[in-house]
Chains A and B, each alone.
Chain A
Amino acid sequence: MPDVFTKIALQHYLVVGTIMFGVGLIGFMCRRNLIIMFLCSELMFQGVAIHFVAFGAYWHKLSGQAFVIFILALAAAEAALALAIIVLLFRQKQTVDSQAFRELRG
Chain B
Amino acid sequence: MNFVIAHSYLIPLLPLLGAIVAGLFGAKVLKGASHWPIWLGVGAAAVMSLTLLVGLLGRQDVVLVGGAEHAAAEAAHAIDSAAGFPLAHVSHWFDWIVAGDDTGAKFNASAGAFIDPLTAVMLSVVCGIGFLITVFAAGYMKGEAGYFRFFAYLGLFIFAMTCLVLGDNLVMLYLGWEGVGVCSYLLVGYYYDKPSAREAAKKAFIVNRVGDFGFALGIFLVFYAFGTISYFGDGPGLVGPAFHKGFIEMALNPSQYVPIGRLWALEWILFCLMLGAFGKSAQFPLYVWLPDAMEGPTPVSALIHAATMVTAGVYMIARLSTLFVPHHAAMVTIAVVGAFTALFAGSIALKQNDLKKVFAYSTVSQLGYMFVAVAVLNPVAAVFHLVTHAFFKALLFLSSGVVMHATGGELDLRKMSGMKKVLPKTNILMLIGCLALAGFPLLAGFWSKDEIVSAASGKSTVLWMVMLLTSLLTAYYTFRLYFRVFQGPELVPHGEHGHGHAHDAEEAHAHADHHHNHEPFIMIAPLAILAIGALFAGIINLPFGAGVSAHSLGHFLSQSPSFAYGYAAAEQTYHGGQEVDAAGFGQASQEALSVTPLVVGGVVALLGIAMAYALHLQNRKKGDQLAVSLAPIGHAMERKYWIDELFQGAIVEPLRAFGKVFLAIDKYVVDGAVAMVAFVPQVTGFGLKLATQRGYLQGYALGMLMGVAVILLWVFA
Provide the bound-state CA to CA distance between A103 and B689, in Å: 13
Q: Is B697 a contact of A106 with CB atoms below 8 Å?
A: no
Q: Is B696 a contact of A29 with CB atoms below 8 Å?
A: no
Q: Is A98 a contact of B689 with CB atoms below 8 Å?
A: no
Size bracket, chain B contacts: 10 to 19
Q: Is A98 a contact of B697 with CB atoms below 8 Å?
A: yes
Across the interface, which residues of B come within 8 angstroms of A52, CB to CB?
A: none
Q: Is A105 a contact of B694 with CB atoms below 8 Å?
A: yes
- Which listed segment binds A: B306-314, B654-662, B698-706? B698-706
Provide the bound-state CA to CA distance between A28 and B689, in Å: 23
Instruction: Indicate if A32 sits at the interface (CB-CB under 8 A).
Output: yes
Tell me the residues in window 30-52 of chain A with beta carbons closer than 8 Å to chain B beta carbons.
30, 32, 37
User: Chain B: which residue is nearest A106 at the CB level?
Assistant: B693
Instruction: Indicate if B695 sits at the interface (CB-CB under 8 A).
Output: yes
Greatest chain B CB density within 10 A among A32, A101, A105 is at A105
Q: Is A105 a contact of B701 with CB atoms below 8 Å?
A: no
**Given A37-B697, A98-B697, A99-B696, does the pair A106, B689 have CB atoms closer than 8 Å?**
yes
Across the interface, which residues of B come within 8 angstroms of A28, CB to CB?
A: 698, 701
Provide the bound-state CA to CA distance between A37 and B697, in Å: 9
Contact of B698 among A32, A103, A104, A106 (CB under 8 A): A32
Instruction: Indicate if A25 sits at the interface (CB-CB under 8 A).
Output: yes
Across the interface, which residues of A come within 8 angstroms of B701, CB to CB?
A: 25, 28-29
Q: How far is the CB of B547 from chain A (nearest CB, A)?
A: 104
Provide the bound-state CA to CA distance between A96 and B481, in Å: 104
Provide the bound-state CA to CA distance between A78 and B698, in Å: 20
Instruction: Indicate if A91 sits at the interface (CB-CB under 8 A).
Output: no
User: Chain A: which residue is nearest B700 at the CB level?
Assistant: A105
Across the interface, which residues of B come within 8 angstroms of A103, CB to CB?
A: 695
User: Chain A: which residue is nearest B698 at the CB level?
Assistant: A29
Provide the bound-state CA to CA distance between A103 and B695, in Å: 7
Provide the bound-state CA to CA distance between A22 and B238, in Å: 103
User: Chain B: which residue is nearest A41 at the CB level?
Assistant: B701
User: Chain A: which residue is nearest B702 at the CB level?
Assistant: A29
Provide the bound-state CA to CA distance between A44 and B611, in Å: 118
Q: Is A105 a contact of B702 with CB atoms below 8 Å?
A: no
Q: How far is the CB of A25 from chain B (nearest CB, A)?
A: 7
Provide the bound-state CA to CA distance between A80 and B689, in Å: 30
Q: How far is the CB of A71 from chain B (nearest CB, A)?
A: 19
User: Chain B: which residue is nearest A104 at the CB level?
Assistant: B695
Tell me the residues in window 82-106 of chain A with beta carbons closer than 8 Å to chain B beta carbons.
98-99, 101-106
User: Chain B: which residue is nearest A34 at the CB level?
Assistant: B697
Across the interface, which residues of A come within 8 angstroms of B702, CB to CB?
A: 29
Across the interface, which residues of B come within 8 angstroms of A101, CB to CB?
A: 695
Q: How far is the CB of B703 from chain A (nearest CB, A)?
A: 11
Provide the bound-state CA to CA distance between A25 and B698, in Å: 10
Q: How far is the CB of B298 from chain A (nearest CB, A)?
A: 76
Q: Is A105 a contact of B693 with CB atoms below 8 Å?
A: yes
Q: Is A102 a contact of B695 with CB atoms below 8 Å?
A: yes
Contact string, B136-168, partner A, CB cutoff 8 A, digits 1/0? 000000000000000000000000000000000
Across the interface, which residues of B come within 8 angstroms of A102, CB to CB?
A: 694-696
Q: Is A25 a contact of B694 with CB atoms below 8 Å?
A: no
Across the interface, which residues of B come within 8 angstroms of A29, CB to CB?
A: 698, 701-702, 705
Across the interface, which residues of B come within 8 angstroms of A98, CB to CB?
A: 696-698
Q: Is B696 a contact of A25 with CB atoms below 8 Å?
A: no
Provide the bound-state CA to CA distance between A101 and B700, in Å: 14
Q: Is A25 a contact of B689 with CB atoms below 8 Å?
A: no
Q: How far is the CB of B159 from chain A (nearest CB, A)?
A: 70
Across the interface, which residues of A come within 8 angstroms of B705, CB to CB?
A: 25, 29
Provide the bound-state CA to CA distance between A3 and B200, in Å: 110
User: Chain B: which residue is nearest A29 at the CB level?
Assistant: B698
User: Chain A: which residue is nearest B699 at the CB level?
Assistant: A29
Provide the bound-state CA to CA distance between A30 and B696, in Å: 11
User: Chain B: which residue is nearest A31 at the CB level?
Assistant: B698
Q: How far is the CB of B371 from chain A (nearest CB, A)?
A: 78
Tell me the residues in window 12-36 of chain A with beta carbons closer than 8 Å to chain B beta carbons.
25, 28-30, 32
User: Chain B: which residue is nearest A101 at the CB level?
Assistant: B695
Provide the bound-state CA to CA distance between A103 and B694, in Å: 9
Across the interface, which residues of A come within 8 angstroms of B694, CB to CB?
A: 102, 105
Q: How far is the CB of B537 from chain A (nearest CB, A)?
A: 91
User: Chain A: which residue is nearest B692 at the CB level?
Assistant: A105
Greatest chain A CB density within 10 A among B693, B697, B705 is at B697
Contact string, B660-703, partner A, CB cutoff 8 A, digits 1/0? 00000000000000000000000000000100011111100110
Provide the bound-state CA to CA distance between A30 and B699, in Å: 10
Across the interface, which residues of B come within 8 angstroms of A32, CB to CB?
A: 698
Provide the bound-state CA to CA distance between A58 and B88, in Å: 106
Provide the bound-state CA to CA distance between A32 and B701, in Å: 12
Greatest chain A CB density within 10 A among B694, B695, B701, B705 is at B695
Q: Is B698 a contact of A105 with CB atoms below 8 Å?
A: no
Contact string, B306-348, partner A, CB cutoff 8 A, digits 1/0? 0000000000000000000000000000000000000000000
Provide the bound-state CA to CA distance between A6 and B695, in Å: 48
Provide the bound-state CA to CA distance between A37 and B689, in Å: 24
Across the interface, which residues of B come within 8 angstroms of A30, CB to CB?
A: 698
Provide the bound-state CA to CA distance between A97 and B686, in Å: 27
Provide the bound-state CA to CA distance between A20 and B695, in Å: 26
Q: How far is the CB of B701 from chain A (nearest CB, A)?
A: 5
Across the interface, which residues of A come within 8 angstroms of B696, CB to CB?
A: 98-99, 102
Provide the bound-state CA to CA distance between A97 and B167, in Å: 92
Q: How far is the CB of B708 from chain A (nearest CB, A)?
A: 10
User: Chain B: which residue is nearest A28 at the CB level?
Assistant: B701
Tell me the residues in window 509-533 of chain B with beta carbons closer than 8 Å to chain A beta carbons.
none
Q: How far is the CB of A43 from chain B (nearest CB, A)?
A: 13
User: Chain A: which residue is nearest B694 at the CB level?
Assistant: A105
User: Chain A: which residue is nearest B693 at the CB level?
Assistant: A105
Provide the bound-state CA to CA distance between A106 and B698, in Å: 17
Provide the bound-state CA to CA distance between A105 and B690, in Å: 10
Q: 28 A–B contact pairs at CB < 8 A? A: A25-B701, A25-B705, A28-B698, A28-B701, A29-B698, A29-B701, A29-B702, A29-B705, A30-B698, A32-B698, A37-B697, A98-B696, A98-B697, A98-B698, A99-B695, A99-B696, A101-B695, A102-B694, A102-B695, A102-B696, A103-B695, A104-B695, A105-B689, A105-B693, A105-B694, A105-B695, A106-B689, A106-B693
Apart from A28-B698, A106-B693, list 20 A-B contacts with CB within 8 A.
A25-B701, A25-B705, A28-B701, A29-B698, A29-B701, A29-B702, A29-B705, A30-B698, A32-B698, A37-B697, A98-B696, A98-B698, A99-B696, A101-B695, A102-B694, A102-B695, A104-B695, A105-B689, A105-B694, A106-B689
In order of increasing CB-CB distance, the 4 nearest A-B pairs are: A102-B695, A105-B695, A98-B697, A105-B693
